[in-house]
Amino acid sequence: MDYQSITAKILIDIKAINFNLNNPFTLTSGRKSPVYVDCRRIISYPKERNKILTFMQNYILKNKIEFDLIAGGETAGIPYAAFLSERLNKPMIYIRKKQKGFGKNSQIEGYYKKNQKSILIEDLATDGGSKIKFVESMRENKIKINDTFVIFYYDTFKEEESQLKKLNIKIHFLCSWYHVLKIVKKEGILNNKDILEVENFLYNFS
pLDDT digits (tens, 9 = 90+) for 77-128: 999 999 999 999 999 999 998 765 554 557 999 999 999 999 999 999 886 6
Fold of domain 3-199? Rossmann fold (3.40.50)
Q: What is the pLDDT of residues 47-72, one digit of tens each?
A: 999 999 999 999 999 999 999 999 99
Coil, helix or strand at residue 158: coil
Model confidence, pTM = 0.91
How far apart (Å, rounded) are the C-alpha atoms in residues 150 and 39? 10
**Which sequence spans correspond to the domains of the chain?**
3-199
Distance between CA atoms of 24 and 126, rounded to whole angstroms?
18
Rounded to whole angstroms, how far apart are CA atoms 17 and 103? 39
Model confidence pLDDT, tens digit, residues 136-177: 999 999 999 999 999 999 887 665 457 788 899 999 999 999
Q: In this structure, are residues 121 and 79 in contact, taking their beta carbons and an 8 Å threshold?
A: no
Element (H, E) at 45: none
Residue 15 falls in which region: left (phi positive, over 0), alpha (psi -120 to 50) or beta: left
